[in-house]
Chains A and B, each alone.
Chain A
């Protein structure tokens, strides 16, 4: 029988455990910053792995278009259907295209696209690199004098940096189209009229920060996905953990960046 603990000892154990969790969080954050630092160091060094970069762009971009398009369509349609009754009460139905376009372009399009990429791309990268780590493929590259960081991490992160903004633009356009179709369930509006009415409410300050932040979204999706996979421990269980934690951590990072972007944009309005 283990000796029973007094309340002070129990409290001490709880505090130590909490402290350990906090320490681990900061260790992980520091490690991720070092990982990002290595990315910036390696990304400027030639030779570039063009073949792998294009292949990853294909996987991240082309392979995600259906999912992103469908999500965008539903997003635009639902937004229109949900807001129409309220707008109708104020006789402001003609403002729906403008409202939809500003919401989609400024906020919903970039964030939803990034979150979808966290789930689809980040988890894939976490699982793929985690599996490569577990089966010693990364070590095999290392001992073959092939820099695995440059071949695996730099190429994938560059692909997400390049593709997430493009996917966001694609998603925005499809969302507006979804909004147009939803608008025509109860009302009649031509496609041209919907897009003209929508776009005339958009200003530079709506579009520019929204596009810029998607590069950062792409960066964290790729980097965190690769980080989790690259640092997976030995054992098959760690592959699942890497994929899962890649989604959780990159989704959280997307929201944090979105909040910072909103604050920074607010300074210029």
Chain B
């Protein structure tokens, strides 16, 4: 699956960027390479040999992988308020890391630093082998194409229909892609999230759960290697939250996406997490699988699980 993903994706690797001189050229080259070969994935079984069959195999497979995100000693303050006070995190390929913590513990700032929406004061962030803090704007954009971000309120462009929302990133990053292929990619993503019928609706007509699904479809349409979910189930009812969580798991398995999920929703964490870190006042205070943390004797950790 991962090889197939690589074949079809707009990747501007560090080597490409060096060879071309600038990241922008890296993107253009990637567009040229990718646009003709981009095609909808019809079935999970397209390349079954690369998908681990069981959960144990998948965990073992992930553990053997190189980390795609490495954060070391990350610090960030807003005026006098220290939000992150030395965070160390690693995410391996194909792994979903769930970040738990109370409001104001720096979870959202952490993932915003990964995509350059916030600049860290200290520390190193390496995403897909590139040090984010040293990237120029064009190089950062090349990295952003490979990284998806689902916002808390989905952040759909409210002046565009669902179709236009999904077509917008393709129009910008797959310029040589034919209209038919773009349409096929949009339909494939809408089928993935089960909202083919909403294609011509405006975002204001969608429910909270539908908006989240369309937001996910819009993010996945560029086939990112990493997904960052900022409270994906916040504000949704229990049933819809479960649907979104299951959708996240399905998409992860289908496209072999590595991800970080910020959430307060414990059922979502249980369903999606390969590993969990817990943040308190800007530092990581606990780490483990859901089952390990559930058995923790620490009162603060227990307060999340019981």
Q: A residues touching B (Cβ–Cβ < 8 Å)?
A: 128, 131-132, 135-137, 139-140, 142-147
Contacts and interface: CB of A to CB of B under 8 A. Distances in A.
A137 B157 contact: yes
Given A143-B115, A143-B117, A144-B222, A135 B145 contact: no
Contact of B169 (A137, A146, A147): A146
Contacts of B116: 142
Nearest to B157: A137
A137 B168 contact: no
A143 B172 contact: no
A147 B142 CA distance: 12
6 contacts: A128-B159, A132-B157, A137-B157, A140-B149, A142-B116, A144-B172
Contact of A143 (B144, B153, B173): B144
B285 interface: no
A137 B144 contact: no
A140 B155 contact: yes
B141 interface: yes
B96 interface: no
Contacts, number: 48
B149 A145 contact: no
Contact of A135 (B141, B142, B158, B219): B158
B158 A137 contact: yes
A144 B158 contact: no
Given A131-B158, A140-B149, A143-B115, 4 more contacts: A137-B157, A144-B149, A145-B141, A145-B142
B156 to A, nearest CB: 8
B169 A144 contact: yes
Nearest first, the 5 A-B pairs at minimum CB distance are: A140-B155, A145-B141, A145-B144, A136-B155, A143-B149
Interface of B: 27, 115-117, 141-142, 144-145, 147, 149, 151-153, 155-159, 168-169, 172-173, 219, 222
B172 A146 contact: yes
A139 B157 CA distance: 11
A136 B203 CA distance: 14
Contact of B147 (A131, A143, A146): A143
A230 to B, nearest CB: 15
A146 to B, nearest CB: 5
B141 A139 contact: no
A139 B147 CA distance: 14
A131 B222 CA distance: 26
Contacts of A147: 141
Given A139-B117, A140-B149, A145 B173 contact: yes
B169 A139 contact: no
A218 B222 CA distance: 37
Given A136-B151, A136-B153, A145 B158 contact: no
B151 A139 contact: yes
A200 to B, nearest CB: 48
A131 B203 CA distance: 14
B155 A137 contact: yes
B155 A135 contact: yes
The residue among A135, A137, A139, A140 with the most chain B CB atoms within 10 A of its own CB is A140
Nearest to B228: A143
Contacts of A145: 27, 141-142, 144-145, 172-173
Could you say which of A131, A132, A137, A143 has the most chain B C-beta atoms within 10 Å of its C-beta? A143
Contacts of A142: 116-117, 144
A30 B279 CA distance: 38
A145 B152 CA distance: 19
Nearest to B215: A140
Contact of A140 (B151, B159, B222): B151
Nearest to A144: B169
Contact of B144 (A128, A136, A144): A144
Nearest to A143: B149
B231 to A, nearest CB: 12
B16 to A, nearest CB: 15
